[in-house]
Chains A and B, each alone.
Chain A
């Protein structure tokens, strides 16, 4: 159908493989996302902690630099599981704000403009649609979480030697799984909120509320009942426990509270126990299942009035 011919003709060329079609959505979405200079600037800033991380790793192995700063490697933060865990958590928190900016309009905009029938009348399923929309966030967040963290791990391994790499491979495992679980949860949460609420601002507010309100509520319950079990409703706390578990730093004893009389004599000591790791994983699984169920219910070409 050339322009000059101005007639209707069918397409007889090659078609793209079906499995790859969900990636069309992120490709087009990135164009819109990076159209905003403000977001682009923010996304660049997201890499700053990684720069700090790289500098710290580099300093550990650069004697000239240590001499200039008149310090030694022992005084610097040790490069171990906790070091990488800290940066995984920092990048995860930054990732939350990226998800907050990018996620809410992804589905809500389509719902508001009745665009779903246009997607779903093509050889493109609802699952592919959700995968495509989620992969916008998954790709954006991967670039600031597990991909650079693994590169840092390789950088440290390169400077420290193969023996360190071999004996600390579990750290790479922790980086990968903790980051993937977190970005998957963020993508699911933002898509779910986006599918439920048609307006971007409301969706962003709801996402913020869904993460922070249960955390605050869990904090209050924990304080009143002197426990840590209420953390099962806090996404941040759950993720913190799961991450600690993956990096081998998880301790169920979160703290001790001593109850004293007026003479400061200890009457009773309460041990604050975190929920077990299996329960944290189960809570995250239930959370994901609920999000998927909502997406399954909401992402349809047309709402049917029964």
Chain B
């Protein structure tokens, strides 16, 4: 979907994005990174707002420099900042945005109504945008981003400033769009929870470089050294045998154990010991890394790349 070919962006002498390479294919990609990492600049560059200083990128096989217009016809963009056209009702605003995307006037009006109903602003669609609350403005921004039915939607901090119910509503909408299968989503956010709830892949930027790009579910499972066990039988003997293998452990309750496997020790060794000590292993699970763990690791480690 998005192919980065050594994409670099500089503002004057300041290098913002440095030689980004990769092939982003996820259905919903979370764009993470500390402030100033280059998240918004990457989105803006893909939208054609900033020219690359070197390298390029392709979206759906179209070059961002040479075919910017064709790309923009396939993209919806919800900006981070408060953005609207003054003295317009929401339906007028979304209709105008639809028309600018190439929809005929009647179709744009119809879809504007539908998009506003879809995001939950159906009852307030004839109100002027200036009178909207922050949450409603965010929803109106989402409506204008989807009115023309784009194949890729960039959402820049979509839950900024929303109260918990409004945030949940926004997350639900993003997930629905993702699950519809018609559109890819790139979600830039500081809130790890938002990304965790909506995205299947994450791209973590640090100092303008790719620190991590991974499938969230696979990355969570990748920490295979930390196990949680539920046993039945005499746990003391089993624990002693584990010590013999050099594994660190912690007993969390009468029949629950947390184990850190040492190098060279495999799960099958645990089953062997359990059989020897006449202990049943009723449950064995890997501890899953949270997105926060992955993010913090990315911030600590060097640049991972793809």
| Residues of A participating in the B interface, judged by any CB pair closer than 8 Å | 1-3, 6-16, 18, 21, 24, 28, 32, 109-110, 112-115, 117-125, 300-302, 304-306
Contacts and interface: CB of A to CB of B under 8 A. Distances in A.
Given A118-B85, A120-B49, A121-B47, A1 B100 contact: no
B11 A305 contact: yes
Contact of A122 (B12, B85, B87, B97): B97
A113 B86 contact: yes
A11 B77 contact: no
B75 to A, nearest CB: 7
Nearest to B104: A16
Nearest to B107: A13
Given A13-B104, A16-B99, A16-B102, A117 B73 contact: no
B189 to A, nearest CB: 18
Contacts of A32: 87-88
Contact of A118 (B79, B148, B149, B182): B79
B102 A117 contact: no
Contact of B180 (A7, A18, A117, A302): A7
15 contacts: A2-B114, A3-B117, A6-B117, A7-B180, A9-B149, A9-B182, A15-B73, A15-B102, A16-B104, A32-B88, A118-B79, A122-B102, A124-B100, A305-B11, A306-B13
A305 B86 CA distance: 26
B12 A306 contact: yes
B69 A110 contact: no
Contact of B83 (A18, A114, A304, A306): A114
Contacts of A28: 92, 96
A11 B83 contact: no
A113 B79 contact: no
A305 B50 CA distance: 12
A238 to B, nearest CB: 34
B250 to A, nearest CB: 46
B83 A113 contact: yes
Given A8-B146, A10-B149, A122-B73, 19 more contacts: A1-B114, A1-B149, A2-B114, A3-B117, A8-B183, A11-B149, A14-B104, A14-B107, A16-B99, A21-B100, A24-B96, A109-B85, A109-B86, A113-B84, A121-B47, A123-B101, A124-B72, A125-B69, A301-B49
A178 B150 CA distance: 45
A113 B44 contact: no
Interface in B37-52: 44, 47-50
Nearest to A13: B107
Nearest to B81: A114
A122 B101 contact: yes
B85 A110 contact: yes
Contacts of A114: 79, 81-84
Contacts, number: 133
Nearest to A17: B102
Nearest to B98: A11
Interface of B: 11-14, 44, 47-50, 69-70, 72-73, 75, 77, 79, 81-88, 92, 96-97, 99-104, 107, 111, 113-115, 117-118, 122, 144, 146, 148-151, 176-177, 180, 182-183
A121 B77 contact: yes
B185 to A, nearest CB: 11
A11 B96 CA distance: 16
Contacts of B84: 113-115, 118
Contact of A11 (B99, B111, B144): B111
Nearest to A10: B149
Contacts of B86: 109, 112-113, 115
A182 B104 CA distance: 33
B127 to A, nearest CB: 16
Contacts of B151: 10
A131 to B, nearest CB: 13
Nearest to B182: A10
Identify the 7 closest CB pairs spanning chains A and B, nearest first. Answer: A306-B12, A10-B149, A11-B149, A15-B102, A121-B77, A114-B83, A301-B49
Contacts of A18: 69, 102
Contacts of A12: 149
A117 B115 CA distance: 20
Contacts of A11: 103, 107, 111, 148-149
B104 to A, nearest CB: 6
Given A9-B182, A117-B49, A123 B73 contact: yes
A254 to B, nearest CB: 46
Given A10-B183, A15-B103, A302 B44 contact: yes
A181 to B, nearest CB: 30
A110 B180 CA distance: 33
Contacts of A6: 117-118
B83 A118 contact: yes
A184 to B, nearest CB: 24
Contacts of A113: 82-86
Contacts of B12: 306
B247 to A, nearest CB: 49
B103 A306 contact: no
